[in-house]
C-alpha cells in the first residue's frame, strides 16, 4: 500500500468511527465505501467488523448510564440466536438478494417515518416481537453484516426516546458484530493482514468515535431521530446501488 492508500484507510476509519459514535451504528455505511477503493472485500469486511466493535466499545462507558437495559435484552437474545444461522446460510443463500431487499426497505420506511408527523408508539407483540426482530437482525448480521437496519427501524416505530434507541442500536450491534467476528475468526475467514490493517485504522476509529459521541450528546431527541433516518436512507441507496450494479 502506498501513502494515498494509507490515508484513505485512516480517513475511512475516522468517518466510520464518527458515525458510530454519533448514532451507535453505521461504521460499515461510511467506511466500506472508502475502504473498498483500496482493499478487496475479503479484507475490508472483517476490518469493518473489528473497527465497529472497537468504536462501540470505546463509547460505551460514556453512554452506559443512559441506556435502558430492560429494553435491550430481548433483542440481544434473539440476535445471538440468529447469528449462527445467518453464518451457516452464507454458503447457500445469495447475500445480494438480501442486500437488495433490505435496501428497498431502507428507502421506503425511513422516508415514511420522516414524513409522518404524528408520534409513533407501536406496542404490538411486546418483548416477543422485539426478540423476533433481534433474531432477524442476527441472521442478516451473520449472512451479510446487516445486523442493524431492522432493529433500528423497529425502535423508531416503537417511539422510544433518544437514549432508549441509542442503547438498542449500540448494544445490539456491538453484541451481534462481536459474535459474527468470533465466528468468522474461528472459521479461518480473518486473514493475518486484517490484524495489521486494524492496528493502522484504530487511531482514526477511536478519534472519530470520540468526536461523534460529543455531537450525540448535543443533539435533541428530534434531531437524533432525523440523523438516524437519514443514515438508514443513505444505507438503502448504497445497498440498492451495489445490488443492481452487481447484476
Summarize pLDDT for 60-79 with one digit per residue, the tens: 888 888 788 888 999 999 99
- Residue 114 pLDDT > 90, yes or no? no
Cα–Cα distances (Å) from 3 to 9, 10, 13, 43, in that order, read: 10, 11, 15, 18
Tell which phi-psi region holds residue 2, choosing left (phi > 0), alpha (psi between -120 and 50) or beta: beta
Report the distance separating Cα 149 and Cα 25, nearest Å.
Answer: 9
Distance CA(99)–CA(45), nearest Å, equals 14
pLDDT band at 96 (very low <50, low <70, confident <90, very high): confident
At 199-227, the pLDDT tens digits run 999 999 999 999 999 999 999 988 998 89
Tell me the whole-structure pTM to 2 decimals: 0.81
Mean pLDDT on 46-68: 87
CB proximity list for 186: less than 8 A, separation 6 or greater: none
| pLDDT at site 212 | 93
Q: What percent of the chain has pLDDT over 90?
A: 26
Neighbours of 40 (CB within 10 A): 9
Mean pLDDT of 191-198: 88
Condensed to tens digits (0 to 9), the pLDDT of residues 144-164 reads 777 888 898 898 888 888 888
Region 75-85: what's the mean pLDDT? 93
Buried/exposed code over 148-172 (b: 16+ C-beta within 10 A; e: otherwise): bbbbbbbbbebebebebbbbbbbbb
pLDDT average, residue stretch 34-38: 83
Residues 6+ away with beta carbon under 8 Å from 110: 153, 229, 230, 232, 233, 236
pLDDT of residue 90: 67
In the numeric block, the cell 484507510 is attached to 9
Amino acid at each position: 500500500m502506498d501513502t494515498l492508500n494509507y490515508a484513505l484507510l485512516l480517513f475511512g476509519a475516522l468517518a466510520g468511527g464518527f458515525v458510530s459514535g454519533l448514532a451507535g451504528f453505521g461504521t460499515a455505511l461510511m467506511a466500506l465505501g472508502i475502504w473498498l477503493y483500496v482493499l478487496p472485500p475479503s479484507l475490508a469486511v472483517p476490518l469493518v467488523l473489528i473497527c465497529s466493535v472497537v468504536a462501540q466499545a470505546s463509547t460505551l462507558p460514556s453512554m452506559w448510564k443512559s441506556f435502558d437495559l430492560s429494553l435491550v435484552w430481548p433483542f440481544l437474545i434473539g440476535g445471538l440466536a440468529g447469528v449462527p444461522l445467518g453464518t451457516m446460510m452464507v454458503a447457500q443463500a445469495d447475500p445480494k438478494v438480501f442486500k437488495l431487499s433490505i435496501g428497498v426497505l431502507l428507502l421506503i420506511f425511513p422516508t415514511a417515518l420522516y414524513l409522518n408527523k404524528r408520534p409513533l408508539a407501536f406496542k404490538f407483540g411486546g418483548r416477543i416481537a422485539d426478540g423476533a426482530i433481534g433474531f432477524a437482525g442476527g441472521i442478516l448480521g451473520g449472512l451479510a453484516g446487516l445486523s442493524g437496519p431492522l432493529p433500528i427501524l423497529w425502535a423508531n416505530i416503537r417511539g422510544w426516546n433518544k437514549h432508549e434507541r441509542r442503547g438498542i442500536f449500540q448494544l445490539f450491534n456491538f453484541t451481534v458484530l462481536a459474535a459474527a467476528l468470533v465466528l468468522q475468526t474461528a472459521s479461518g475467514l480473518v486473514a493475518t493482514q486484517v490484524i495489521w490493517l486494524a492496528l493502522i485504522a484504530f487511531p482514526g476509529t477511536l478519534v472519530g468515535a470520540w468526536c461523534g459521541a460529543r455531537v450525540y450528546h448535543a443533539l435533541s431527541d428530534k434531531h437524533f431521530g432525523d440523523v438516524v433516518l437519514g443514515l438508514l436512507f443513505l444505507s438503502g441507496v448504497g445497498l440498492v446501488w451495489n445490488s443492481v450494479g452487481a447484476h
